[in-house]
Each structure stands twice: as C-alpha cells, then as structure tokens.
Structure 1
Amino acid sequence: MNSEEEFYDAETDTLSKVLSDFTRSLQSYLVQMCSRKTLPAEMISRNNFSVWSILKKCIGMELSKIAMPVVFNEPLSFLQRISEYMEHTHLIHQACSLSDSIDRMQVVAAFAVSAVASQWERTGKPFNPLLGETFELIREDDGYRLISEQVSHHPPISAFHAQSLKQEFEFHGSIYPKLKFWGKSVEAEPKGTMTLELLKHKEAYTWTNPLCCVHNIILGKLWIEQYGTVEIVNHSTGDKCVLNFKPCGMFGKELHKVEGYIQDKSKKKRRVIYGKWTECMYSVDPKVYETYKKSDKKTGGDLKKPKQVSDEHSCEGEEADEMPEVQETVTVIPGSALLWRITPRPTHSAQMYNFTSFAMTLNELEPSMDRLMAPTDCRLRPDIRAMENGDIETASTEKERLEEKQRAARRERSMDEEDWSTRWFQLGTNPHTGAEDWLYTGGYFDRNYTDCPNIY
C-alpha cells in the first residue's frame, strides 16, 4: 500500500470515528429529551431534624445497623446509586476501539474516576436495599444493560453486572459499603472490586474505589472529599495505573485532585494522569510532566501534610470543618490530552438532592414498565416512591413496614432452618483476582420472575 492510500485510509478511519461519536451523542441526546428532567417534588428540608441525637453514641462505630430517619435519605436505592457508574459508558466504548494497551488503560482510568464523579455534593444517604431487591437498567443508546441484586443483608452486599448489547464488554462487581462516624464526619469505605472486561481485546481490568468522607454531619455546611490510592491492573498485559485521590490538605489546595501514572509490565512510566474527579482528567508524557513541574514553583513546591479525619474528634463544642474554596479550573500542562470531562448538572440540581441528569431518570417508572420488570425492582418500592413525591410521612411509615417485613421473614427462615437463596448472583471466585466475589448467573432478561420473593 502506498503512502497516498494509507493517508486516505487514515482519513476514512477518522471520519468514521467522528460519525460514530456523533451518532452516539445524538442517540444519547434523543433519549435524554424523552426522559424526565426533574423529580416530582423538590428536596425535603432537613432543617428541623437533628442527626446528633442519633449518632452521638456511634462515634467510631460501623453504621450499617443504625436506623436513620428517612429525611436524611435521597429518593434512590443504593442499587440505583451503583448504576450511576455507567453514566460515562462512552469511555468504555472508546477503550474498546483503541489498538494500543496504554491508550486503553488511560481511558479505563478516566472511566474509573468518572464512576465516582456523581457523588460530588450528594450528601443524602441512599435507601438501604432490602434483601432480594433488584434494579435493572437498559440503555440502548449507550449500548448496555445492567442488573443488580442485594445478595446479603448482614453484612450489606450489593452485586451488579453490566453487559454490552454488542458483546463488546462486561463490567461487574460486588460492593460492601462500610460507614463509620468520626464525630464530625462520616467515612464510607466502598469495599469490593470493580472488574471491567474488554472482550474484543481479551483484557480484564480490576480496581477498588476510593474512600469517601462527608464533613459537617452535625454542624455547618455538608461537603464531600474522596481520598486514597486506586490501583487499576490490566491482568492480560501487566500494565498498571496508580491513581492518588488526594485529601484536601491544610489549606484546601488538594481538594478533589487526582494524580497518578501508568506503567507497563516492565514498570516503566508511560503516561501521567491528572485532574479533578469533580471536573476533568488529562494525560501527558511523563517527561513533559516532570519538566513542567520543575519549571513551575507553585506546583513543584512541597505540599503541606494532608489533614486527615481523626477518630479522636468530638462533635460537641467544636466548630464545623470549613469547606475549602473550590478552584474550578485544572491547570492544563501543554501537550496534555483530555480524557474525560464531567457532564454539567441541571440548573435546578440543588433543589433535587444534587442529582445529575442521569440520576434524575433512575427512579422514573414509565407506563407498563412494572409489568416487564421483576417485582423486586427498586422502582416499585413504596417508601422511595413516596419520598420522591415529597410525602415524608408515608415514606417513613412504608420504610418501617418494609424493614419489619424483612425482619419477620428472617425470623421465619430461622425457625424453619432455611438459608436465604439469591436469585441472579452466586458467591464464587473472581477469575482475575482469585478473591471471593458475587458473579452473575444469567437469565434475568429472559423475563421469568415466578421465583422472585415478595419483599414489598
């Protein structure tokens, strides 16, 4: 093939990609146009409720067994919250289309960051899923479908499995969220492994999500930071990406920042990744990055020791943790490539539990949908539906009823010496990490729900 033919092939490939991206964007836009843009009612005020009366005896404790008033919730189940990992699925499609493993890794890294971006300013607690509860999500415009199930109640474990409609990828995991109260803040550790399989490339990536901390639970304005090291491993090539979600630091200079690098199997650094999980992520050549850091005294100086959440803090008699001023712009290093940018939230988001446009659609129940989905789907929960409609009294009453029904069912199983049997997932071994994991057994979308439990 001569150079001219190669040129036209390259031009054709570029045009094809542009058209493909445009088509996907148009499809996504049309779906969004048809989906609801707001919730039935605005966020319920929490001004007349004191969380301190509930949490003052829980300092240093794990909170999964503590019953919280429904007013501190948001009108979504944790299973629906998990599905928000899929908001930026276009990144997975992009990774599938790339021929170079390092290029794929940096896009997968951007996806891992984007998967937690919806937590920004989301200070409401999702409803704890009932044992056996499920949630399905089908997005033909984004080319995937997802099913999740609450597979354990104590400890609370949620399993999910998303698959491409064109057999391009599978994304799955099981999450055991551990919550601890430290006096002025609540720290959430999302224990569990994320696994992304790019089927065409026969690659599997795994990682765990960072820690999340909600400050000023008792006094002051609520604000969120995420911190910790996230290590993404390509089990097929040996490539690895190490991302550092930075604590805000003494003066808030590091708030929301994410920095890291990609190394190949020989441990040579190939790309540097940087940005903010609330805004955007970039990648750049390591040599360019080091040169830039050395030439810029402001970013090259020693950082102050990060301010950590302490288990010795007490709520009583202490001032609120002042939220650092958010610097909205990431300083872009010349020669960097944009990997991902967050989708702007709707203008009325603050009145809608700080939901994204994606989250706004998750509890939408269109006509006839209830006849197609499993009777255990979150959208059929009366307490979440009541809260979404602004009826806090009914939401609280229904939440108590459902929890008591769950306790009664557990007592009955105990008397009959029966174990709970999951419906769509089973406990097994993750083939890539060798660790225990909940794996999808298939069959949900065959629409046979005769054996589903009556949990509502």
Structure 2
Amino acid sequence: MSFFKKIVGKSDSPKGTPKGTPKGSPTSGNTPKETSPKGTPKSRKEKKKIEKERKLRESNTDQNEIDEIDFGKEAENDDAPQDKKSLWSKISGLVGKDPMSLVSLPVYFFEPLTVLESQAEPLRFYDLLEEAISKQDPVERMLYITAFNISIFSSYVRTAKPFNPLLGETFEYIPKQGNYRTFCEQVSHHPPIGLCETQAKNFNLQQESWIATKFWGTSLDVFSLGQNHLYLPTHNNEHYTWKIPSAICHNLLIGKMWIEHHGDLIVKNHTSGESAQVKFYKSGIFESTTKKVAGEIKDSTGKTRYLINGRWCEYINAVELNDNGDKVREFIIWRAKPDPMEKENKWKHGEFLQSLNELTPEMEEILPPTDSRLRLDRRLLQNGDNKNANREKNKIEERQREIRKQREAKGVTWLPRYFTKVEDATFGYRWVFNSTYWNERAERIESLKEKSGNKAPEIPQLSSSHVVQRLNPATTNINNNNNIILDGDREKFVKTTTTTTTTTTYHTPSVEESGEGETVLTEHIKTPISNIYTYTHSPTIKSEKSTVTPPALDQVGQGAL
C-alpha cells in the first residue's frame, strides 16, 4: 500500500525562496563575494566569467523554461556525464536561482536517502548528548552540547543530494539499542520544511530542516533557516536552541567536488543563560584555515569559561579557563572515528546511515505507507537501477504536482498530521509534536501480533520508561489562522484563507477503499527488491471539513490526502 506508488517529472516547488535572509543568501538579491578555494585574487579571465554569470542571474529566466529542462537519456546514467559543457548548457539558466526547487534533477545527483532520513544523522553522535546530560555544571553541559553540534558536520562531507520528501512523507527510527526514538514528517512543501522529533529518557530534541540554495555556476550556496530545540528534563527542563552555519559546494562542474561549511554556530541556554559561539572558517590562503573551527563557551554572567578549537571533520579541543582567564587544563572533547563501511559503497554510507534504510519483512508490515524507506525511486537507486529509479522519481513528482493542483482547485489547505504550529513570543513560532504516531505504531504492532499467534515482531522498540514527555510552553497558543510568524531575518510566511469555511486535508494517504475500508490493490508485483504495489487508477482525494479549529486527530478520517 505504498504512498509513493500512489503519489506517482518535475518539481512543483516554489517560485521563490524565503525573503529577508542575510546578505548573500538565496533571497537577498546580493551576490556573495567570489573567492577562489584558497582566497587568491581572481584573474581577468575569472572576473569575466563572474560578470557573465552576473548577467545570467539578471536575465530572470522564465520559470516554465526552467521546468522544461530535459536531461534526456543522461538522466538514467550511473554517474554525471563527463561532458561538462553539455551539462552546463542545460543548467546555465539556473545561475542565481534555487536549482533544488526549480528543476527535477537526474538521480545520478542523489544518494539513496531522503532529507528526512538525513535529519536523523546527527544522532550518530548521541553519546555527546549523553555526556552533556551527565554533567552537573551547566557550563560543562553547554560545552558538550556545542561539541555535539560541531561533530555532526563530520558527516556532511558527502556531495550527493538526498531525495526531497513529498508533502506528508514520514520516517521513523529506533536504534537496536532502543535508547531513543525518532520521528520525522514533511510538513510543508512551500517552503520545504521537515521536522524531526527525538525522544529519550534524558532529552527531547526537535530539528527543523528548512534549506534554501543558490546556484552560482561553479558552486552552490546552501543556507539552513530552520530552528533546533533541545530539552533536558533531568536538569530543570533546560531549553537550548541553535541554528547551523551555511555551506558551499565547490567545483560542481570542474575538478573534484568538495563541501565547505562557514559562518557562526550559536547555541543558547534559555533557562540559565549560558551560551556558545563558534566560527566555522572559510578556506583561505593558508591551509590551516580549511575546516577550522574556533569559539568560546560563556557562563550565565557572560564570562568566557572555555575556549574551543579544532577541525570539524577531525577533532574538537577545549581549554578551560579560571576566573582570571588563565588556562586550567586542555583536553580533547571529541575525535572522529573512521567507519570502515564508508569505503564499501559509492555513497560513503557507514554503519549508521545504512541502518536508517534497514527494512526487514516485519518492519515493512509495521511501517506506514508514507515512510521514506518505502520510496521506490530511493530503493531502486540503492540497488543500482538508475534507469528505473529516474523513471519512478519522475512519476512520483508528476503525481505530486497533480495532487497539488487538485487541492488548489478545491480550495484545500494542507495540515500536518503529527505536528501543530503554535505562536511563540520568543521564537515567533514553534512546532508541537502530538506523539500520535507512536500510538498508531503500537496499534499496528498489536495487529501484527494477533496475525502471528501473539508472537512479538522482531523490530526495534523503545520502552515507555525510556521516554519522557516534555511539557509544552504554557504561554504558547495554537495559531488557528495557520500563520507562521518568523523571527529575525526570515520571511513572515503567512498562509491565510479567503473564505470563512476552510477545507483541510490531512496527510494520511490511501487509494480507493472497499466497503469494509480495505485498500483495493489492482495489481501485486513481486520484485527482487521488495513487494511493490502498483495501482492502475488514480487515487481519490478525500478531505475533512473543519471549522477554524482543526478537528482532533482521532476524529480525522483515514485516507485523506
């Protein structure tokens, strides 16, 4: 009953990206200062090339032209074409724009992960969060939480792109150790926003993936606009927030592609006042600045208590200071560990990343049809079938576009099923996870047990004793007008309705159903990859009418798109 077989091209994503971003961002209209990888002055030839790119950016290529870019048979290749001139002729019109949302890229640009799965990747460094929680000094906790945020960049060296999630796509992950559980949902397509909620005994982590990009011909700027929240229930429910630095993908067409992270990582403890600021350096004339980080940890009075430095891909060093600012001790907080499995596949996926895609027959019974693991285009790519992966990707994107148009024609507004937007006086807005997903999962497990003679399925599970529910801020109110009020330099993205009665669509998908509510499959095909369900008819779009306040989740009919 695959969601992705039903949502069966080209992207129907926005014609623009969020306004009000910092200088040099995808929407400010300012071009980042061009430098070579080593920061050396540009030659006359390079300056002419930059000027040519600037004129291309100002040409304001028509959206429809961009949507019609045809990669032809090249799209089904295993790797990007060696003829870079041919590739440039197809994408040169994207200079100054966000190519990730304006064009359907061939699968050879991708890795067999979705953005939702990638959101779980920081949990590879779960032990640093556990170390932070074990500290009684809030400054030490800030030190290790900052180290956690730096260490995750050691995974962000891969140059392949994860698949964009479909609206309503989900992903769950519970490690075999059972020490935490993670759930992700794609809650918006314009702008693209994915949320990831991780619950554990001693912490609750929410990550918001909101990425915007801008193409400059030979490089791609990547801007992260999402907020991240961490709560520590065992320490007075301390509340931490941070936003991650930007990135540049160099040598898109010529030479070896590489990724550079730059900008400031700022972590704040909103409960007791500690803070951290770490600078990610751009590559300069001297090799020593490549992948370099340096910063400081301050206590609640603003006094620097630790200095940190290192390389985000290798290690983090800390220097403790006394009240006079003198060095007390120096030690390594974190050092990258090589993963031999990264060398065994072309995407450099180590043991943790491969576990995200693990799919046993029992898990396939438990997972909802919206789970990223079940995406056929992703699975075909994982099995090396680029030709069919590309075709399936196009079908999914075309079908997603059709469904969007049908919603717009009916005046339907999409609402996430598992997260609710709320207004927040401090951050402008928040997303609140309702935990309904885990209740639904438990019901599916019980149903499977009944079918198998009360035998418990062999799947990762988390005992309720290992989960703590954090309290939602009492001052927040549900924003019934479906407004997202953003803070700082980001767009005030507001979605309002023009009529008093709004038709709301919830994301749980299905196809035509029989009188008894069972999904009708028109064809069942077995392949070496998995059981794939194929539908020969278009699914019916269903919706629930709501008043200003959305209906309770247990009142929402199943099968809504």
> Please, what TM-score do these two structures have when normalized by structure 1?
0.76
Per-residue displacement from partner, 1:396-436 (whole Å, max 9, x unpaired)? 010001011111111111121111121111222457x4222
Per-residue displacement from partner, 1:11-50 (whole Å, max 9, x unpaired)? xxxxxxxxxxxxxxxxxxxxxxxxxxxxxxxx94324475
Distance in 2, Cα, partners of 1:289 & 1:337? 19
Per-residue displacement from partner, 1:266-312 (whole Å, max 9, x unpaired)? 211100111111011121124799889xxxxxxxxxxxxxxxxxxxx
Aligned to 2:304: 269
Aligned to 2:289: 254
CA drift at 1:160:
0.8
CA drift at 1:360:
2.0
SS of residue paired to 2:89? helix
Pair 424,53 (structure 1): closer, same or farther in 2 beyond 3 Å: farther
Alignment of 1:14-413 (within 5 A): 44-48=78-82, 50=84, 51-63=87-99, 64-120=101-157, 122-141=158-177, 143-164=179-200, 166=201, 168-201=202-235, 202-286=237-321, 335-346=329-340, 348-349=342-343, 351-413=345-407
| Aligned partner of 1:436 among 418, 429, 435 | 429
Aligned to 1:324: none
Contact persistence 1:197–1:203 (CA under 8 A)? yes
CA drift at 1:60:
1.5
CA drift at 1:370:
1.3
Distance in 2, Cα, partners of 1:412 & 1:289? 66
Letter in 2 for 1:438: W
Give the root-mean-square deviation of aligned CA atoms. Answer: 2.4
Pair 49,81 (structure 1): closer, same or farther in 2 beyond 3 Å: farther
Distance in 2, Cα, partners of 1:118 & 1:142? 22
Contact persistence 2:223–2:245 (CA under 8 A)? yes
Pair 288,425 (structure 1): closer, same or farther in 2 beyond 3 Å: same
Distance in 1, Cα, partners of 2:408 & 2:418? 22
> Is 1:445 matched with 2:438?
yes
Distance in 1, Cα, partners of 2:83 & 2:145? 41
SS of residue paired to 1:250? coil
Distance in 1, Cα, partners of 2:97 & 2:145? 35
Distance in 2, Cα, partners of 1:289 & 1:214? 42
Name the % identity.
Answer: 36
Contact persistence 1:110–1:281 (CA under 8 A)? yes
Contact persistence 1:118–1:356 (CA under 8 A)? no
Contact persistence 1:173–1:438 (CA under 8 A)? no
Distance in 2, Cα, partners of 1:359 & 1:53? 34
CA drift at 1:140:
4.8
Pair 102,287 (structure 1): closer, same or farther in 2 beyond 3 Å: closer
Contact persistence 1:133–1:376 (CA under 8 A)? yes
Contact persistence 1:282–1:338 (CA under 8 A)? yes
Distance in 1, Cα, partners of 2:97 & 2:324? 42
SS of residue paired to 1:253? helix
Letter in 2 for 1:174: E
Instruction: Select the structure of larger CA radius of gyration.
Output: 2
Contact persistence 1:73–1:127 (CA under 8 A)? yes
Stretch deviating more after TM superposition (364-373 or 376-385)? 364-373
Contact persistence 1:55–1:181 (CA under 8 A)? no
Contact persistence 1:54–1:68 (CA under 8 A)? no
Distance in 1, Cα, partners of 2:323 & 2:417? 52
Distance in 2, Cα, partners of 1:127 & 1:288? 49
Per-residue displacement from partner, 1:60-87 (whole Å, max 9, x unpaired)? 2122222211111111101111110111
Letter in 2 for 1:343: K
CA drift at 1:350:
6.9
Stretch deviating more after TM superposition (437-446 or 275-284)? 437-446
Distance in 2, Cα, partners of 1:289 & 1:103? 18
CA drift at 1:349:
2.5
> Which segments of 5 or more consecutive residues in structure 1 lack a partner in the other structure?
1-42, 293-333
Moved over 3 A (4+): 47-51, 286-292, 448-451
CA drift at 1:98:
1.0
CA drift at 1:196:
1.0
Contact persistence 1:257–1:276 (CA under 8 A)? yes
Distance in 2, Cα, partners of 1:211 & 1:361? 27
Pair 355,451 (structure 1): closer, same or farther in 2 beyond 3 Å: closer
SS of residue paired to 1:115? helix
Distance in 1, Cα, partners of 2:166 & 2:267? 31
Pair 336,370 (structure 1): closer, same or farther in 2 beyond 3 Å: same
